[in-house]
């Protein structure tokens, strides 16, 4: 195949999936999708191999999405699909790990021939059940589950399916709107793909796809070949739902790729922090990919050389019908575990442990609507707060920055415009970064109360309260997180990191996100950096 054509086609496919993701991001309703980029978009060949994926806010979809199209094709083989068909699922074990994520797949036809498929995933705010949170006892309590089905059949919407969905969620207009957004972004991708095939005179994606996959695979293998072969183990403990969990990994570097196995990890939880394997694979793979071959685009070729396994039934390969809603609170910890293994191979490229799990509380009105002299309205908001990242070799960690998640926060003013809450403080917590030659990123302190003194509810999925981020090479751990309520009378009560609590009338809620771990011994920190921190009041 003409070298120039390969170059152009690859560039173009990468641009097409970015455009597909943009359309989704701009039209989505769910806060975490539009503000935080909790979505993904990709293009696949007719065998179901992912050829290109948009770089968006969430590694959680990295290869959970890459595998999803194959699962759709297993239920609806290509020869049974026809133009105008669109398929959907939110099954945690066929998609990206919890019911809120809907994956939509659209085959693309040139005349009557399928030339490829587009898939996209986004987070729909409410799927019924108990609502987004870790408190369910099984997946049935978490909301409606739609197996792989037709959303559109030959261009006609599946009205029965949509009616069922709308009857089972709290905000049916939004849910339907988000499904249409997913279908629309795949359509935008399809139009662009057909135009590209015509412009370049390509009959389909097969030949160029094979070249993209083999070159990506070779590039990853070349990066892996630079690492010393061997087995590297790392263990990390995190808070869990109500008891600590162990995350244990052995990472093996060999000529044919990297494998990660999570044998020795805690068994599945009785609550909604379980992780389906696809989501485990996504975050573990991201942990490898962010430091090994990080300029190689995500596709079936580059992802295929990283193989992630976990024993069946453990926390990281939880089976139906385990509860999985807050699977991110464990999944987002996995890059730290993988990086802990890789630190033994490439110590100069790996950051220390960080806060890692985003703090994304759901705030809503309490049962009582009684405020000071007023009756207060209903509300629900789901803001995102971050802790510090681990110190990098040669650089401090990033303060209050999402990692591994790529989400953005929402503005305090907008949160106050859409709820009766007042954020009295949202500021760095000095001293919260683990000290070292390079310091961990700082966490933040957030103080919130109800403007009219009424009670309100907080649903928490927080971690690193009992197990702070550890430093590397003799550095200190970052400050642990904390969450408590207090009032002007000086009464103060700590809350657990997971689950739902009522902030009583007249109390304020204080959250302190964790700091990142340091890197290298503190004695090795330069005087200049110490001075800078002191002047800024960060230590």
Partner 1 sequence: MRLSIDIGGTFTDVVLEHDGALTTTKVLTTYDDPASGVMMGVDHVLAQTGAAARDIMLVLHGTTLATNALIERRGAMTGLLTTAGHRDVLEMAFENRFEQYDVNIDRPVPLVPRHLRLGVDERVAVDGTVLRAMSDDEVTGVVGGMVESGVTALAVGFLHSYANPDHERRVREIVETSFPDLNVSLSSDVCPEIREYERLSTTVANAYVKPLMATYLTSLQEQLNDRGIDCQVLLMTSGGGLTTLQTASEYPIRLVESGPAGGAMLAADIARRHGCEEVLSFDMGGTTAKICLIDDGQPLHSRAFEVDRSYRFKKGSGLPVRIPVIEMVEIGAGGGSLAHVDGMKRLHVGPESAGSEPGPACYGRGGEGAAVTDADVVLGKLIAESFAGGQMMLDVEASETAINAAVSGPLQLNLDESAHAIAEIVEENMASAARSHASEWGKLIADRVMIAFGGAAPLHAADLAERLKINEIIVPAGAGVGSALGFLLSPVSFEVVRSYYSKLEALDFGHLEDVFTDMRDEASRVMHQANVTEFTEERQAYMRYVGQGYEVAVTVPDDTDENALKEGFERAYTELYGRIIPNMEIEILSWTLALKGPVPDSLGSDEDVVTDISAGTQTYFHEGKRYEASIVPRDQVETGGHEGPALIVERQTTTVVPPGWTCRCLKDGSLKLTRGDVDG
Judged by CB under 8 A, does residue 31 bind partner 1?
A: yes
Residues 6+ apart with CB under 8 A from 272: 133, 134, 135, 136, 142, 241, 323, 324, 325, 326, 327
Stretch that binds partner 1, among 18-26, 273-281, 361-369, 431-439 (CB under 8 A): 18-26
Q: How far is the CB of 302 from partner 1 (least distance, A)?
A: 9
Q: How far is the CB of 382 from partner 1 (least distance, A)?
A: 11
Report the relative pairing of strands 508-512 and 482-486 from DSSP bridges.
Answer: antiparallel
Among 253, 334, 407, 465, binds partner 1 (CB under 8 A): 407
In this complex, which beta carbon is closest to partner 1, that of residue 15 or of residue 250?
Answer: 15
In this complex, which beta carbon is closest to partner 1, that of residue 19 or of residue 138?
Answer: 19
Report the relative pairing of strands 482-486 and 492-494 from DSSP bridges.
Answer: antiparallel
Q: Which of residues 145-174 bind partner 1 (CB under 8 A)?
A: 173-174
Among 42, 48, 59, 272, binds partner 1 (CB under 8 A): 59
Judged by CB under 8 A, does residue 462 bind partner 1?
A: no
Q: Which of residues 210-239 bind partner 1 (CB under 8 A)?
A: 215-216, 218-219, 222-223
Q: How far is the CB of 294 from partner 1 (least distance, A)?
A: 4
The DSSP result for 26-45, as a single string, is HH--SHHHHTT--EEEEEE-
Residue 486 to residue 450: CA distance in whole angstroms: 13
Among 10, 87, 232, 279, binds partner 1 (CB under 8 A): 10
Judged by CB under 8 A, does residue 179 bind partner 1?
A: no
Q: Which of residues 295-334 bind partner 1 (CB under 8 A)?
A: 295-296
Q: Both tokens of residue 8?
A: 């152009």
Judged by CB under 8 A, does residue 22 bind partner 1?
A: yes
Among 98, 392, 439, 470, binds partner 1 (CB under 8 A): 392
Stretch that binds partner 1, among 133-141, 255-263, 368-376, 400-408 (CB under 8 A): 400-408
Q: Both tokens of residue 107?
A: 């085959």
Per-residue binding letters, 345-384, with partner 1 (x by CB under 8 A): ----x-x--------------------------------x
Judged by CB under 8 A, does residue 202 bind partner 1?
A: no
Residues 6+ apart with CB under 8 A from 469: 336, 352, 353, 354, 355, 356, 387, 388, 390, 434, 440, 477, 478, 514, 515, 516, 517
In this complex, which beta carbon is closest to partner 1, that of residue 272 or of residue 520?
Answer: 520
Under rule CB under 8 A, how many of the chain's residues touch partner 1? 81
Residue 489 to residue 507: CA distance in whole angstroms: 10
Q: Calculate the CA dihedral of residues 181, 406, 500, 452 and round it to 10 degrees.
A: -80
Stretch that binds partner 1, among 137-145, 152-160, 402-410, 453-461 (CB under 8 A): 402-410
What is the 3-class SS of 312-347, one letter each residue? Answer: CCEHHHCCCCCCCCCCHHHHCCHHHHHHHHHCCCCC
Cβ–Cβ < 8 Å for 339, 287: yes
Q: Both tokens of residue 220?
A: 């990853």
Among 290, 345, 357, 469, binds partner 1 (CB under 8 A): 290
Among 386, 432, 459, 512, binds partner 1 (CB under 8 A): 386
Judged by CB under 8 A, does residue 271 bind partner 1?
A: no
Q: Which element (helix H / strand E) includes 428?
A: strand 421-428
In this complex, which beta carbon is closest to partner 1, that of residue 104 or of residue 323?
Answer: 104
Judged by CB under 8 A, does residue 408 bind partner 1?
A: yes
Read off the DSSP letter of residue 408.
P
Cβ–Cβ < 8 Å for 122, 24: yes
User: 395: exposed, middle or buried (C-beta count within 10 Å: 0-12, 13-18, 19+)?
Assistant: exposed
Phi, psi for residue 84 in degrees, rounded to 5:
90, -5
Q: Which of residues 416-455 bind partner 1 (CB under 8 A)?
A: 416-417, 422-428, 444, 447, 451
Stretch that binds partner 1, among 229-237, 263-271, 285-293, 319-327 (CB under 8 A): 285-293
Residue 125 to residue 100: CA distance in whole angstroms: 7
Among 18, 473, 486, 501, binds partner 1 (CB under 8 A): 18
Q: How far is the CB of 341 from partner 1 (least distance, A)?
A: 15
């Amino acid at each position: 195949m003409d070298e120039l054509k390969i170059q152009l086609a690859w560039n173009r496919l990468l641009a097409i999936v970015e455009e597909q993701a943009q359309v989704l991001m701009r039209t989505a309703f769910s806060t975490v999708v539009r503000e935080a980029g909790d979505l993904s978009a990709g293009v696949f060949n007719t065998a179901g191999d992912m050829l290109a994926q948009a770089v968006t806010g969430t590694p959680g979809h990295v290869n959970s999405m890459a595998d999803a199209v194959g699962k759709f094709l297993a239920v609806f083989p290509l020869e049974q699909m026809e133009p105008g068909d669109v398929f959907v699922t939110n099954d945690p074990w066929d998609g990206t790990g919890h019911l809120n994520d809907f994956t939509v797949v659209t085959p693309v036809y040139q005349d009557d021939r399928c030339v490829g498929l587009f898939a996209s995933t986004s987070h729909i705010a409410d799927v019924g059940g108990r609502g987004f949170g870790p408190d369910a006892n099984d997946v049935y309590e978490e909301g409606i589950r739609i197996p792989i089905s037709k959303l559109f059949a030959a261009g006609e919407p599946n009205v029965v399916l949509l009616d069922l969905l709308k009857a089972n969620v709290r905000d049916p207009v939004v849910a339907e709107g988000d499904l249409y957004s997913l279908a629309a972004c795949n359509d935008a991708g399809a139009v662009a793909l057909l135009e590209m095939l015509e412009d370049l005179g390509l009959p389909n994606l097969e030949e160029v796809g094979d070249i993209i996959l083999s070159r990506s695979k070779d590039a990853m293998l070349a990066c892996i070949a630079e690492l010393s072969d061997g087995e590297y183990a790392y263990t990390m403990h995190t808070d869990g739902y109500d008891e600590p969990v162990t995350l244990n990994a052995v990472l093996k570097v060999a000529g044919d790729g990297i494998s990660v196995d999570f044998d020795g990890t805690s068994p599945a939880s009785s609550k909604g922090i379980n992780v389906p394997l696809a989501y485990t694979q996504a975050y573990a793979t991201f942990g490898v990919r962010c430091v090994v071959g990080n300029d190689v685009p995500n596709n079936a070729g580059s992802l295929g050389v990283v193989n992630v396994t976990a024993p069946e039934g453990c926390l990281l390969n939880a089976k139906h019908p385990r509860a999985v809603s807050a699977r991110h609170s464990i999944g987002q910890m996995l890059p730290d575990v993988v990086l802990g293994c890789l630190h033994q191979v490439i110590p100069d490229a790996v950051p220390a442990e960080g806060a890692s799990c985003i703090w994304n509380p759901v705030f809503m009105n309490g049962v009582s609507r009684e405020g000071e002299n007023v009756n207060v309205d209903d509300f629900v908001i789901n803001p995102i707060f971050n802790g510090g990242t681990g110190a990098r070799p040669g650089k401090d960690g990033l303060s209050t920055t999402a990692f591994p998640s790529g989400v953005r926060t929402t503005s305090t003013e907008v949160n106050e415009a859409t709820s009766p809450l007042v954020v009295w403080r949202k500021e760095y917590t000095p001293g919260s970064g683990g000290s070292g030659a390079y310091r961990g990123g700082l966490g933040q302190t957030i103080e919130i109360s109800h403007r009219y003194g009424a009670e309100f509810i907080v649903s928490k999925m927080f971690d690193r309260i009992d197990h702070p981020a550890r430093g590397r090479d003799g550095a200190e751990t970052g400050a642990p997180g904390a969450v408590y309520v207090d009032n002007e009378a000086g009464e103060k009560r700590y809350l657990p990191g997971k689950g739902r609590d009522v902030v009583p009338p007249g109390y304020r809620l204080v959250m302190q996100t964790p700091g990142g771990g340091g890197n290298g011994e503190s004695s090795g920190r330069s005087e200049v950096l110490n001075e800078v921190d002191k002047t800024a009041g960060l230590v």
